[in-house]
Amino acid sequence: MSNGDYFDRLDSELAGLIRRAEHLEGPGARVRRCAWLARRATLAVIVGLALAVTLISEFPSSADGAGPRNPISAIGA
Amino acid sequence: MARSTDRSRWSDEQLLAAIAGCDDRASSAFYRRHLRPVLAWLMRRTGDPELAADLTAEVFAAAMIAAPRYEPRHPSAEAWLTGIARNVLGHSVRRGRVDARARRQLGVGTLPIDDNDIERVHEMIDAHRTDVAGHLSRLPADERAAVRARIIDERDYRDIARSLGCSELVIRKRVSRGLARLRAELAG
């Protein structure tokens, strides 16, 4: 293999990364972890909001606290 | 028994374990051992030397990341690497652009490819074909025909069995025996 061709450069680059243990904990690992956490948090907020909207639209009177606290009193029992 | 310091004599399993342990010379030995077959595999599927070289970089970057999780289920890591190459190629086709996730993860910069490198791809492909032809020619005729049809021409077993006039099971055995013989020859 001649010196300095694409495949030699790739070999050197990979060897350097292995020597610096980048394959075990790459420089992007922390960024990826943060991005993953951010995605999970965003998803959790969206699901929470969707659930809240569903509950409010299904039970509008309970949203402002005007609904009966005791369902038995609501039917006059 | 003490292990040889010449990493080109190490098995794939030993090299991958050493890569997981941050041995850069093991990484080079593994890369040099498998470069031609991986490049040839990608070249057969893409027909484009520049694309094949680019994808080869991604395959080896992904292999280095996956090395600590390698399980030696095969006597050689070729099948494992081919699986990685298949994933990289499949992902690239689906996304419509060359997969570079592993290189991004490792922080590998874009390596420019010039005309000399393209020529180098063709040289390596030719050398690989010569190697394969040389090894194949030493197999018994029935195994050679089965291995050539299955591995090089990528025909399915049923089709090969029909054309060679024997059962699928016989073809599978011939391919298996032929590959074992080739493996032993390459290792020796």
Model confidence pLDDT, tens digit, residues A18-77: 888 888 865 555 665 677 778 889 999 999 999 999 988 887 766 666 555 565 655 554
pLDDT of residue B188: 55
Contacts of B120 in chain A (CB under 8 A): 2, 5-7
Q: Which two tokens stand for residue B131?
A: 């190697």
- Rounded to the nearest 10 degrees, how much is the dihedral formed by the CA atoms of A30, A33, A39, A45? -100
Mean pLDDT calculated for residue range B147-168:
88
pLDDT of residue A28: 56
pLDDT for B35 beyond 80? yes
pLDDT for A2 beyond 50? no
Q: Where are the alpha helices (DSSP H) in B47-188?
A: 49-66, 78-95, 101-106, 115-137, 141-147, 157-164, 168-187
Contact across the interface for A7 and B35, Cβ inside 8 Å: yes
Q: Which two tokens stand for residue B8?
A: 């080109």
pLDDT grade for A1, boundaries at 50, 70 and 90 = very low
Contact across the interface for B64 and A32, Cβ inside 8 Å: no
Mean pLDDT calculated for residue range B89-97:
91
Give the range among B23-32, B73-82, B154-163, B168-177 with minimum mean pLDDT: B73-82
Interface test with A, best of B30, B32, B35, B108 (most A CBs within 10 A): B108
**A41 HSE (CA, 13 A, CB side):** 6
> Cα separation of B104 and A22, whole Å?
11
> Which residues, in sequence order, are CB contacts of A52 under 8 Å at separation 6+?
none
Q: Could you tell me which residues of chain A have a Cβ less than 8 Å from any Cβ in chain B? A: 1-2, 5-7, 9-11, 13-24, 26-29, 32
pLDDT of residue B6: 84
Contacts of B64 in chain A (CB under 8 A): 14, 17-18, 23
Of B20, B28, B112, the CB nearest to A15: B28
pLDDT for B1 beyond 60? no
Is the overall model pTM greater than 0.90, yes or no? no
Contact across the interface for B57 and A26, Cβ inside 8 Å: no
Q: Nearest-CA residue of chain B relative to A11?
A: B28
Mean pLDDT calculated for residue range B9-34:
91
pLDDT for B2 beyond 60? no
Contacts of B60 in chain A (CB under 8 A): 10, 14
Contact across the interface for B107 and A26, Cβ inside 8 Å: yes
The residue that leads in pLDDT, A13 or B71, is A13
